[in-house]
Amino acid sequence: GKKLGYTFNNRNLHNVSLGQGQEVVAEQALDLAAKEGHWVILQNIHLVAKWLSSLEKKLEQHSEGSHRDFRVFISAEPAPSPDSHIIPQGILENSIKITNEAPTGMHANLHKALDNFNQDTLEVCTRENEFKSILFALCYFHAVVAERRKFGPQGWNRSYPFNTGDLTISVNVLYNYLEASSKVPYDDLRYLFGEIMYGGHITDDWDRRLCKSYLEEFIKPEMLEGELLLAPGFPLPGNMDYNGYHQYIDDALPPESPYLYGLHPNAEIGFLTQTSEKLFRVVLEMQPRDTSVGEGGVVTREETVKALLEEMLEKLMDEFNIAELMAKVEERTPYVVVAFQECERMNILTSEIKSSLKELDLGLKGELTMTSDMENLQNALFLDTVPESWIKRAYPSTASLGTWFADLLTRIKELEAWTGDFSLPSTVWLAGFFNPQSFLTAIMQSTARKYEWPLDKMTLQCDVTKKNREDFASPPREGAYVHSLFMEGARWDTQTGIITDARLKELTPAMPVIFIKAIPADKQDIRSMYPCPVYKTRQRGPTYVWTFNLKTRESPSKWVLAGVALLLQI
């Protein structure tokens, strides 16, 4: 205020938090303030989208003839996407805009976390050593979980609104528990921080495991013995004053790198690659859509699309004849049922592709009126993206249209080979299924029927072989061999048969063939195992398929923090 020549002292201030019918109050405050020269603060205007046009008119009305000291301050949360921008352009153009952006990098985030406290905070607890150590560890934890978002799905499966309130309340809880207990209740504190304060935001089980693993690494008895590393090369500091902690961050914190989060450097390569791909995609979508022929007879947009749709229609095979396939089958085993389900879903997808392409072809010829759906399809074909109507009927994929269509043809060929005689392939392409879970469940169902075991008392055992797809001529007697899986965040050491650190620039190394069989759950060996989530794509999150237990000599928490997962597609 003072920099603008005003002061908050002795000024009538109208503070209105919008939502729940406060629009009338806001309008009355604006009318009074414009007349008397007061200030008005309108908070959370993003909650009253329908009223914003009225607000724009009201501000325009008071722009002339109002008191010279009249001022309006408006606050709103940032929109999650460009499509969600609701503040009228007139308000934005006539405003001085101030944004409060979160800090980037561990250095800035750790300082910002510590800024929520002061020297008085550090001296408030009678158990000074324990309180200071855990408070600093909490600040580092807060900075890690907030900044880890930048690594996309390998950082967190979903994005969460962690905020400074989570940190300050956690420190209050820490103070209360230390004052009330003779021993430091590490388990209780980790539970409260990881399951309630921060865990209250978390909706994904794998993200909950990650949050829990961080706290198990950062808050444990070793922290008081001077043996705890918050990150490689960054030990937990000893007893210092408030300014000393800030100085320690400046002096001791290593340069920004994925190691500070427990991630491999490849995570940054992947994140930067995806960011640049998004940028180029936006640039491509912004290019002019002029349909006229340029100099030198450049191929027009319509000609490009027409050539592409003709090629696709020519390559697409006929739909599967389900009735004919059923007539060939003597016994409907779990595997046969999966094959039928896959054929039915493939028919739905290919039918949509054919009908939409034929419709667009007629539209381009002028025999049908171009609809918005046809225009969307044309744009998608031209920009090499998978059309929305196809995505709805397909499987999750991050591929461009050309790669996606080639992959679709491969899936159809695999299905044709399988339904030729319904004998299980020597190695199964797990990524080729619409629903990979159904095939993995079929493995358990087949074994359960054979030995008359209860299905709910069974689990899948995952043994990674030392061979590739070409080395197998026939399927196993029980279970199945699966191929073409990829590991992200680490790699598989074929010689020693364990997970090990990834090689630099090898983002998603291929796995050898994996032998999957069903066993009784009580016979499962979980010692020295990392429960590794399997996802359909690098988007992770909702594309989760199963959990494979993989052997490890190192602590499983290392691979949890590194975001290690198996992917069916890359």
Task: Please state the rounded mean pLDDT for residues 8-14.
Answer: 63
Rounded to two decimals, what is the model's pTM? 0.82
pLDDT band, very low/low/confident/very high, at 2 (cuts 50, 70, 90)? very low
Q: Is the pLDDT of residue 293 over 50?
A: no
6 Cα distance to chain centroid: 45
Q: Is the pLDDT of residue 13 over 80?
A: yes
pLDDT, greater one: 241 or 365: 241
pLDDT of the residue at 289? 61
Q: Which CATH number is 425-569 given?
A: 3.10.490.20
SS3 of residue 546 by DSSP? strand
Q: Which of 223, 211, 136 is nearest to 186 (CA)?
A: 223
Residues 6+ apart with CB under 8 A from 556: 529, 530, 531
92-144 pLDDT, tens per residue? Answer: 888 888 877 777 889 999 999 999 999 999 999 899 899 999 999 999 999 99
Instruction: Find out whether 23 and 48 touch, Cβ atoms under 8 Å.
Output: yes
pLDDT of the residue at 551? 95
Task: Please state the rounded mean pLDDT for residues 358-372.
Answer: 88
Whether 425-569 and 299-423 are alike in CATH topology: the answer is no
pLDDT band, very low/low/confident/very high, at 292 (cuts 50, 70, 90)? very low
Task: Please state the rounded mean pLDDT for residues 422-427.
Answer: 90
CA distance 173 to 61: 50
pLDDT of the residue at 271? 83
Task: Please state the rounded mean pLDDT for residues 462-478.
Answer: 92
Of 13-17, 147-151, 235-239, the range with the lowest mean pLDDT is 13-17
Instruction: Find out whether 214 and 141 touch, Cβ atoms under 8 Å.
Output: yes
Task: Please state the rounded mean pLDDT for residues 225-238.
Answer: 89
Structure tokens belonging to residue 454: 């209860």
Q: Is the pLDDT of residue 3 over 50?
A: no
pLDDT of the residue at 49? 84
33-92 pLDDT, tens per residue? Answer: 889 888 999 988 888 888 888 999 988 888 888 988 899 999 888 776 777 788 888 888
Q: Is the pLDDT of residue 403 over 80?
A: yes
pLDDT of the residue at 65? 87
Q: Is the pLDDT of residue 5 over 50?
A: no
SS3 of residue 550 by DSSP? strand
pLDDT band, very low/low/confident/very high, at 197 (cuts 50, 70, 90)? very high
Q: Is the pLDDT of residue 10 over 60?
A: no
377 CB neighbour count, 10 Å cutoff: 22
pLDDT band, very low/low/confident/very high, at 278 (cuts 50, 70, 90)? confident
Q: Which CATH number is 299-423 given?
A: 1.20.1270.280
Q: Which of 35, 34, 57, 53 is nearest to 45 (CA)?
A: 53
| Residue boundaries of the structural domains of the chain | 2-94, 106-263, 299-423, 425-569
Architecture of domain 106-263: Orthogonal Bundle (1.10)
Residues 6+ apart with CB under 8 A from 18: 26, 42, 43, 44, 45, 47, 48, 51
Of 273-287, 350-364, 478-492, the range with the lowest mean pLDDT is 273-287
Instruction: Find out whether 189 and 199 touch, Cβ atoms under 8 Å.
Output: no
CA distance 352 to 345: 11
Count of residues for the chain? 570
Task: Select the CATH number that applies to the domain covering 2-94 from these four: 3.40.50.300, 3.40.190.10, 3.40.50.2000, 3.40.50.150.
Answer: 3.40.50.300
CA distance 214 to 223: 14
CA distance 249 to 231: 12
pLDDT of the residue at 281? 82
pLDDT of the residue at 64? 87
Q: Is the pLDDT of residue 20 over 90?
A: no
Question: What does DSSP say about strands 13-17 and 39-43: parallel, antiparallel, or unpaired?
Answer: parallel
Of 187-191, 226-230, 305-309, 502-506, the range with the lowest mean pLDDT is 226-230
pLDDT of the residue at 331? 85
What φ, ψ does residue 515 adopt, rounded to 5°? -95, 120
Percentage of residues in the chain with pLDDT exceeding 70? Answer: 95
pLDDT of the residue at 14? 85
